[in-house]
Amino acid sequence: MSSLLTAASRKSPRKKKQRTIATAESMASQQRDISVSEFFAKNRHLLGFDNPRKALLTTIKEAVDNALDACEEGGILPNIFVQILQKDETRFKIIVRDNGPGIVKKQIEHIFGKLLYGSKFHQMKMSRGQQGIGISAAGMYGLMTTGKPVLIISKPSKRKPAHEMRIKMDTSKNRAEVVSDDEHKEDDKLFPQGHGTQVEIELEGKYLKGRQSIDEYLELTAIANPHADITYVTPGNETRHFKRTVDELPDEPLEIKPHPKGIELGTLIQMLERTTEKQLAGFLRNDFCRVGPTKARDIASAAGLTGNSWIKTIDHNDAEKLYKAIQEIRINPPPTDCLVPIGSKAMLAGLLRGVKAEFYTAATRPPAVYRGNPFQIEVGIAYGGEIQGEDAARVIRFANRVPLLYQQSSCCSFKGALEASWKNYGLSQPRGSLPQGPLVIMIHMASVWVPFTSESKEAIADYDEIRKEMKLALQECGRKLGTYLRRRKRMLRESERRTIFERYIGEVAKACEDITGSDAKRIYYALLKQAKRRTAQADQQLDDEGKVIDEVASLARDEHVVIVASAAPEINEEDDTLFGKEPQSVAKKRKVTKKKKKTARKRTGKRK
């Protein structure tokens, strides 16, 4: 080290002398505000713009999330149109259009041009976006990489013409700069319903298919949002249409006030500063949920204050005491009616739309609380059918209906899936990894505040309460899957039994004819009749085994389960390997399984 230094000093001996000695004044001249937008421009990986591929995906994701949120808030069934145009190898233009309520002209520049501007950050309300960074960050990224402003066309009402705005972001001031502001004429084509918003962003990116692609993101979005109708035009100019399968908007989530146990000291101090209340009791009662007059008095007295204490007089010391008091006093958990889960029925509809399987089931847990925030876990499982079966199961994760594509292994839901004991449900599970088989596991967390591990919202933080709920929901689904798999195995065994008998009956009949001289055909048909009767009887006996049959029947009656009999090519495959190597016998067997499927469908009754 020292030799290096001396070498450097020998080469430029004057530099050492020129070292500027900073004074408090000179430093002060350089110290200034760092705008949030500048910070994020430098740290764009925090928002999910690490690389060109992810940047393109994040841009689409933010735009689609905003579109869906807007439609739902406006009480409109969402029709989303997504198009990616490839300008050259690394340059793309994305267009996302919705039929939402539109945006008032003067708000456009704030929403799209300012970071940390939004309606959702200050609300305790379940929504896709949270901080108000997303779409403006995407626009900023586009501007930085291509220099092109963001183009927004919005039509808030049928009667008014749509306005078209080009917006540039001034990163140093965290403010939007309006490049152009026109009226858009041919808006009927864009917005046949008379309202909606279209965003166009040009950016540097990279388009790839497969895992963690835009295609996967939209597929998963369609699964979690069966009420949305999504049209997607790929860079290759192919159109993919995810049709709406549920014609009902999810309930509107309610806004709640923060729960006292869910806030930190800093937040408490901030709330004290901002409140419009004059006295402590009023502050506690009106700015928090689950605090009544008694609780407010209890908290105040535990902190050495009274309900009549003036907010103005509460200093840092008192705030700290107040915070401690809140932690010690028992307060009812927050209300959970503010949560709007997807619901088992809609989850099944979504899975049916997105995954070609033979068995589907879904479970919704009752709401629970972590750190004062209410949340609710939902799990769906799809098994068999066209799902690839050799590798580990696929886990698809959602938070407030938004698919999470990155950082699977650090996500709470992934850990929950590992912890469930899938072996009990007829699946193989190597130690410390996911179960294997043709299985898709869908995990959704709905919460007023989803605890992400980072701002790019890629993984859910690992809270014990959350993981426990996930595990319970997974087990509920797993049990149903296990019942189904057991029944399928039994069905297979029954068909096996029948074919074995049918195979040997002919030989027995012939030998009997040779020995006794009685007609072989007569014996054959008599035995065949008996074989059929006996296997049918065996089926029945299995069904009548008390508990087993109850389980199966209840499975069929269960409205959280869908069995698609026709989408089960796997049974045939297994049949082929088990018995028929010869075409004729295979044909015979297919008939048998088909018959059985019919009866199975009759039994299950429902085909959604």
Binding site for other proteins (CB under 8 A): 497, 500-501, 503-509, 511-512, 514-516, 518, 522-523, 526-527, 529-531, 533-534, 581-582, 584-585, 588
Please report how close the Cβ of residue 495 comes to other proteins at its closest, in angstroms. Answer: 12
- Side-chain-facing half-sphere of 328: CA atoms under 13 Å: 12
Burial class (CB in 10 A: 0-12, 13-18, 19+), 176: buried
- Our CA dihedral for 414, 420, 422, 424, rounded to 10 degrees, sits at 180
82 is written with which tokens?
A: 């997504």
Q: How far is the CB of 513 from other proteins (least distance, A)?
A: 9
Instruction: Write down the H helix ranges in 202-241.
Output: 214-224
What contacts 52, CB < 8 A, 6 or more positions away?
90, 204, 205, 206
3-class SS string, 311-378: HHHCCHHHHHHHHHHHHHCCCCCCCCCCCCCCCHHHHHHHHHHHCCCCEEEEEECCCEEECCEEEEEE
User: Which C-beta is closer to other proteins: that of 369 or that of 512?
Assistant: 512
Q: Which tokens is 7 given?
A: 């070498």
What's the min distance (Å) between Cβ of 426 and other proteins?
22
By beta-carbon proximity to other proteins, the closer residue of 1 and 515 is 515
Q: What is the residue type of 174?
A: N
* CA–CA separation, 430 and 410 (whole Å): 19
Strands 394-399 and 439-447: parallel
Shortest distance, position 551 Cβ to other proteins, whole Å = 24
Q: C-beta of 406: minimal distance to other proteins in Å? A: 52
Locate tokens 């009667």: which residue? Answer: 159
Closer residue to other proteins, CB minimum distance, 280 or 505: 505
| Residue placing its CB nearer to other proteins in the complex, 392 or 512 | 512
Looking at beta carbons only, is 265 or 508 nearer to other proteins?
Answer: 508
**Residue 383, both tokens:** 């098994």
Of residues 463 and 501, the one with the C-beta less far from other proteins:
501
The total of other beta-carbon atoms located within 10 Å of residue 168's CB is 18
CB of 462 to other proteins, least distance (A): 50
- In whole angstroms, how close is the CB of 588 to other proteins at the nearest point? 8
For other proteins, the closer of residues 136 and 535 by Cβ is 535
SS3 230: strand
Provide φ and ψ at 484, rounded to 5°.
Answer: -65, -45
CA atoms within 13 A on the CB side of 461: 12
The residue (of 464 and 582) whose beta carbon lies closer to other proteins is: 582
Least CB distance to other proteins at residue 552 (A):
22
Alpha-carbon distance of 104 to 116, in angstroms, equals: 18
Q: How far is the CB of 502 from other proteins (least distance, A)?
A: 9
Q: Which is nearer to other proteins, 285 or 498 (CB)?
A: 498
Q: Distance of alpha carbon 324 from its chain centroid, rounded?
A: 36
SS (H, E, C) 558-571: CCCEEECCCCCHHH
Nearer to other proteins, 512 or 592 (CB): 512
**What residue type is assigned to position 231 of the chain?**
T
Q: Residue 345: CA atoms inside 13 Å, Cβ hemisphere, count?
A: 8
- The nearest distance, CB 583 to other proteins, in angstroms, is 10
Nearer to other proteins, 424 or 518 (CB): 518
| Residues 281, 292: Cα–Cα separation, whole Å | 9
Query: Parallel, antiparallel, or unpaired for β 368-370 and 373-383?
Result: antiparallel
Give the nearer residue to other proteins in terms of CB position, either 302 or 512.
512
Cβ proximity to other proteins: between 16 and 534 the closer is 534
CB of 487 to other proteins, least distance (A): 19
**In angstroms, what is the minimal distance from the CB of 596 to other proteins?**
18
Rg of the chain on CA atoms, in Å: 32
C-beta closer to other proteins: residue 5 or 536: 536
Q: Quick count: other Cβ atoms within 10 Å of Cβ 452?
A: 17
* Contact (Cβ atoms closer than 8 angstroms) between residue 240 and residue 351: no
- When the beta carbons of 535 and 593 are compared against other proteins, the nearer one is 535
CB of 569 to other proteins, least distance (A): 23
Q: Quick one: which of 150, 163, 138, 154 has its CA closest to 37?
A: 138
Q: Residue 478: what are its φ and ψ, rounded to 5°?
A: -60, -40
List Cα–Cα distances, 312 to 268, 307, 502, 596, in angstroms.
Answer: 14, 13, 91, 77
Helix (H, G, I), strand (E, B) or coil at 250: coil
What's the min distance (Å) between Cβ of 507 and other proteins? 5
User: Would you state the structure tokens that stand for residue 149, as one six-digit string?
Assistant: 């402003």
**If phi over 0 gives left and psi between -120 and 50 gives alpha, with beta otherwise, what is residue 240?**
beta
Q: Least CB distance from residue 65 to other proteins, whole Å?
A: 57
